[in-house]
């Protein structure tokens, strides 16, 4: 019975379409037999250098030049080359079988590496490297998408323009306006606010609303205990002031929570990590653990909050400035959002000057301006004495990749701090806001006069 390895070598020099598709994914270490590995390396080297398939004669000549082979390997390699005759094989079956062989070999080699690491036989790697080694092996696949051809792939592009993107909507009208219907996956969204303004309140409210949509929510906290976050979400969902939750009889509390469970098909998991101790690698491991143990895959992730995460690339007490450190955290979280295919919502602190300001700007981002450079959506939550008396909080867009930032640049939403809730305000509350970005209507004569240079001296 012919081995799959021998069939692969045959087709690599006789089938150009197959060879160009699979060669980038095959590694020499996948070949268990040293002679087969030698022949593969000769084929690979010739293809890389001359960009065409080698013949059997070429392989014989190149093999003769190789002085690093034992007599036994040289002899067996010549016999293999001599047997590389053309063979008719169904193309898709051949590609699928090669992909399966590559994945099986990658997994086997990863398991062998993991055993060595676990036994302490690898001086360069420790046991923390085992999950990534195994996950890389499991991810082996033949991905033939090597870019978008602008002129050739116009139909795919047209379909993309008209495809309705899957988004997670807000229950606040103006947030849906500025995001064109909600948060898309693979994005990082940041709320900027001072201490006590409402960063956690905002995230708890949105987490509650997404749960009621029947979606799965993962809330990662590094600032407050799991129970404190759950208490805020209880106040929101149970419609009870947070100070009165502890006074509820157990029967009533159980009845209210059961009622919420009947309204949604989603789940909400709250996970606490010590401050500044967890990074994107820990979050990725948590996602894998939740998928294995609870069959839970989140539709959105909240991280409370970004500045007190750790970086997987830098040590917190290492020789690195705050700009690079916070930017690194933001990039890692956005990478996690892409890998998990979910939106991530987090928050950051304002600077000392921004805390007292009624007009927070991007420059008021604490520690690193690299954070807004990475975020897809960034907005400030602003509270003043006047707004507090009205039971409102102002939102100012700072960066927006989803929509025109000039439209609805500022708006207000209602806030009920006792029940940890946000709500839509009357439209009249938005009318007097300066720089709201509302479109103005001009007559032709007014528009013409605005463009006039009358009054300028030349």
Give the rounded distance of the alpha carbon of 351 from its chain centre. 27
Helices (H), 222-376: 226-238, 250-263, 280-294, 322-340, 352-355, 370-374
- Tell me how far apart the alpha carbons of residues 412 and 169 are, in angstroms, rounded to a whole number: 18
From the list 393, 394, 325, 396, the residue with the least C-alpha distance to 363 is 396
CB 223 within 8 A of CB 305: yes
DSSP character at residue 425: P
Structural domain boundaries in the chain: 4-138, 173-431
- Tell me how far apart the alpha carbons of residues 44 and 63 are, in angstroms, rounded to a whole number: 13
By the 10 Å C-beta count (0-12 exposed, 13-18 middle, 19+ buried), 335 is classed as middle
- Paired strand residues for 378: 190, 399
Say whether 173-431 and 4-138 share the same fold.
Answer: no
Q: How far is CA 130 from CA 114, 234, 241, 271, in A?
A: 6, 39, 47, 23
State the angle between helix axes of 91-118 and 4-14 in degrees (0 to 180), rounded to the nearest 10.
130
From the list 346, 405, 416, 55, the residue with the least C-alpha distance to 188 is 346
Hey, how many other C-beta atoms are within 10 angstroms of the C-beta on 101?
18
Task: Find the length of the chain.
Answer: 458
CB 298 within 8 A of CB 219: no
CB 41 within 8 A of CB 28: yes
CB 110 within 8 A of CB 36: no
- Tell me how far apart the alpha carbons of residues 188 and 326 are, in angstroms, rounded to a whole number: 14
From the list 105, 31, 33, the residue with the least C-alpha distance to 76 is 33
Q: For the domain covering 4-138, report its CATH number.
A: 1.10.860.10
- Tell me how far apart the alpha carbons of residues 90 and 454 are, in angstroms, rounded to a whole number: 77
> CB neighbours of 298 closer than 8 A, spacing ≥ 6?
216, 217, 218, 269, 287, 290, 340, 342
CB 396 within 8 A of CB 360: yes
Q: How far is CA 402 from CA 181, 183, 407, in A?
A: 10, 9, 12
CB 109 within 8 A of CB 29: yes
Tell me the pLDDT of the chain (458 aa) as tens digits.
578 999 999 999 999 999 998 998 899 999 999 999 999 999 999 999 998 999 999 999 999 999 889 999 999 999 999 999 998 889 999 999 999 999 999 999 999 989 988 888 877 777 777 887 887 787 777 765 667 788 888 888 888 788 777 899 999 999 999 999 999 999 999 999 888 888 999 999 999 999 999 999 999 999 889 999 999 999 999 999 999 999 999 999 999 999 999 989 999 999 999 988 889 989 999 999 999 889 999 999 999 889 889 888 777 666 778 778 888 899 999 999 999 999 999 999 887 655 555 667 676 666 667 788 889 999 999 988 888 999 999 999 999 999 998 888 999 999 999 999 999 988 877 876 756 555 443 343 444 444 444 444 44
pTM comes to 0.65
- Tell me how far apart the alpha carbons of residues 362 and 371 are, in angstroms, rounded to a whole number: 10
User: Taking the CA of residue 141 as centre, how many other CA atoms within 13 Å lie in the half-sphere pointing to its CB?
Assistant: 6
φ, ψ at 392 (rounded to 5°): -130, 165
Residue carrying structure tokens 């002085």: 67
CATH number for 173-431: choose from 3.90.230.10, 3.30.450.20, 3.40.50.1820, 3.40.50.300.
3.40.50.300
From the list 300, 288, 398, the residue with the least C-alpha distance to 344 is 300
Query: Among positive and negative, which fits the CA dihedral 207, 406, 399, 342?
Result: positive
- Tell me how far apart the alpha carbons of residues 48 and 64 are, in angstroms, rounded to a whole number: 19
């Amino acid at each position: 019975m012919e081995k799959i390895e021998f069939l692969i070598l045959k087709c690599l020099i006789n089938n150009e379409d197959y060879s160009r598709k699979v060669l980038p994914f095959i590694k020499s270490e996948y070949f268990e037999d040293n002679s087969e590995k030698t022949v593969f390396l000769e084929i690979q080297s010739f293809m890389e250098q001359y960009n065409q398939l080698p013949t059997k004669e070429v392989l014989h000549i190149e093999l003769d030049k190789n002085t690093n082979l034992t007599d036994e390997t040289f002899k067996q390699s010549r016999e293999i080359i001599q047997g590389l005759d053309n063979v008719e094989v169904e193309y898709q079956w051949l590609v699928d079988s090669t992909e399966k062989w590559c994945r099986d070999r990658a997994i086997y080699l990863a398991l062998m590496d993991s055993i060595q690491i676990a036994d302490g036989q690898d001086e360069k790697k420790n046991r923390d490297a085992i999950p990534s080694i195994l996950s890389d092996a499991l991810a082996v696949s033949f991905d033939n998408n090597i870019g978008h051809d602008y002129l050739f792939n116009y139909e795919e592009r047209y379909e993309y323009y008209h495809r309705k993107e899957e988004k997670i909507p807000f229950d606040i009208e103006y947030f849906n306006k500025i995001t064109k219907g909600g948060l898309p996956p693979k994005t990082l969204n940041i709320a900027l606010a001072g201490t006590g303004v409402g960063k956690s309140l905002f995230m708890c409210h949105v987490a509650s609303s997404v749960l009621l949509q029947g979606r799965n929510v993962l809330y990662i906290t590094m600032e407050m205990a799991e129970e404190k976050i759950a208490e805020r979400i209880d106040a929101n969902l149970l419609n009870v002031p947070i100070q009165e939750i502890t006074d509820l009889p157990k029967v009533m509390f159980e009845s209210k929570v059961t009622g919420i469970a009947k309204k949604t098909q989603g789940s909400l998991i709250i996970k606490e990590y010590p401050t500044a101790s967890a990074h994107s690698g820990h979050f990725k491991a948590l996602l894998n653990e939740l998928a294995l143990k609870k069959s839970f895959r989140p539709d959105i992730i909240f991280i409370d909050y970004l500045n007190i995460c750790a970086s997987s690339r830098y040590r917190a007490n290492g020789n690195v400035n705050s700009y690079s450190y916070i930017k690194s955290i933001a990039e890692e979280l956005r990478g996690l959002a892409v890998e998990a295919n979910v939106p991530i919502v987090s928050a950051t602190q304002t600077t000392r000057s921004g805390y007292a300001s009624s007009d927070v700007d991007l420059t008021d981002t604490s520690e690193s301006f690299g954070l807004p450079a990475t975020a897809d959506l960034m907005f400030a939550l602003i509270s003043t004495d006047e707004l507090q008396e009205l039971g409102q909080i102002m939102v100012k867009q700072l960066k927006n990749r989803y929509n025109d930032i000039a439209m609805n640049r500022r708006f207000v939403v209602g806030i009920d701090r006792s029940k940890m809730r946000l709500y839509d305000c009357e439209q009249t509350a938005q009318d007097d806001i300066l720089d709201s970005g509302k479109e103005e209507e001009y007559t032709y004569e007014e528009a013409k006069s605005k463009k006039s240079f009358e009054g300028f001296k030349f």
